[in-house]
Amino acid sequence: MKREDVEFKTSDGVSLRGWFYSSDLITDSKAPCIVLCIGLGGTKEMSVERFAEYFVAHLPVNCLLYDHRSWGASDTLPGCPRNEADPMVQSSDLSDAISYVSTLDRVDPQKIGIWGSSYGGGHCLYVGAVDKRVKLVLSQIPLVDGYATTERALPEAAREPSNAHFAQDRLARAQGKEPQYIAVSSADPATKALFNDQKCFDFFKEHVGKPYWDNRMTVKTVELSRGWVPAHLIDKISPTPLHMTVAIQDTVTPAEYALKAYNRALEPKKLTLLNCDHFGPYSGPHFEKVVAEQAAFIKEWFFDGQ
């Protein structure tokens, strides 16, 4: 396996940086490529690299894993804050990543797949529907309906204060003030955070204080996530093959919503169910199961029957 640092430009000129992996199993001059899309608040060092490493170890493929704009090693559009995630912009950047790998001599542009987890899994559902250069979609524990997910997670008594917080932040930014931030994750219920419980924090805590990750995001990021419903076009992914992974104990991106979305998707499609919570697929036996099934899906559609 070879991994190299890469950099490419988005359509609006932002430099995104990441890692390009090449399998030692590749024998042809051009090989398929899987572009991996990270979840909300994460960077490429936070467990997603395990999937890229597995794919290139077991299949003759390339993989691109990159940091979203304004996160990790990637740049920010001038005038925009760090650690802000706009889902439509991130989805456009995913298409720009597809453009980048399609220009590489070692990539077969007719065999580009996308893989995403959590927020990134939702982005893959949207991009897989609208960008027909995509020939394979793998969506893991995806956010499919931000509005329903937010309503479910937020007690009714907290909704009006939350809306007031969004409005206050928008007004302050319109007046030229600095954007407001909350933590990505905290185990302290008194700390404003997107992921505000011990289980979630257990996933993030090993990265706290590391140079590649800043444990904060803008308030606007949370507001934008509420309005992001990427599964509304899931039936338009077909005839591109879709693999979806759902964790049945997931309360971050609830399994109920993901399964409803999957049922609306057209063939060809495949579902993997894991008996774990939202963070289970990133390590241990649940990782071993799902990554093997995802690799088998890639093999089926990119290599079997050639």
Q: Locate 218 and state its tokens.
A: 């803008």
Residue 172, in any domain of the structure: no
The pLDDT score that the predictor gives to residue 306 is 59
pLDDT along the chain (306 residues), means of 10: 98 99 97 98 97 99 99 98 98 99 98 99 99 99 98 88 94 96 92 87 91 96 98 98 98 97 99 98 98 99 84
What string of DSSP letters covers 245-305? EEETT-TTTTHHHHHHHHHHSPSSEEEEEESS-TTGGGSHHHHHHHHHHHHHHHHHHHTTT
**Looking at the domain assignment, is residue 34 inside a domain?**
yes
In this prediction, residue 199 carries a pLDDT of: 82
- 75 belongs to a structural domain: yes
Looking at residue 69, what is its pLDDT? Answer: 99
How many C-beta neighbours within 10 Å does residue 114 have?
Answer: 30
Q: Kindly state whether residue 161 falls inside one of the protein's structural domains.
A: no
Left if phi > 0, otherwise alpha if psi is -120 to 50, otherwise beta: which for 301? alpha
**Which pLDDT belongs to residue 197?**
79
Residue 58: inside a domain: yes
The parent domain of residue 6 ranges over: 2-152+227-302
Pair of tokens at residue 196 = 């505000």
Collapse the DSSP code of 237 into the 3-class scheme (helix H, G, I; strand E, B; otherwise coil) and give the result: coil
For residue 190, what pLDDT is reported?
Answer: 85
Number of independent structural domains in the chain: 1
Do the beta carbons of residue 236 and residue 263 sit within 8 Å? no
What CATH number is associated with residue 46? Answer: 3.40.50.1820
DSSP state letter for 103: T
What is d(CA 229, CA 227) in angstroms, rounded to the nearest whole number? 6
pLDDT of residue 152: 92
Cα separation, 186 vs 201, in Å, equals 6
Give me the DSSP letters along 214-230: -S-EEHHHHHHHHT--G
Give me the pLDDT at residue 38, please.
Answer: 97
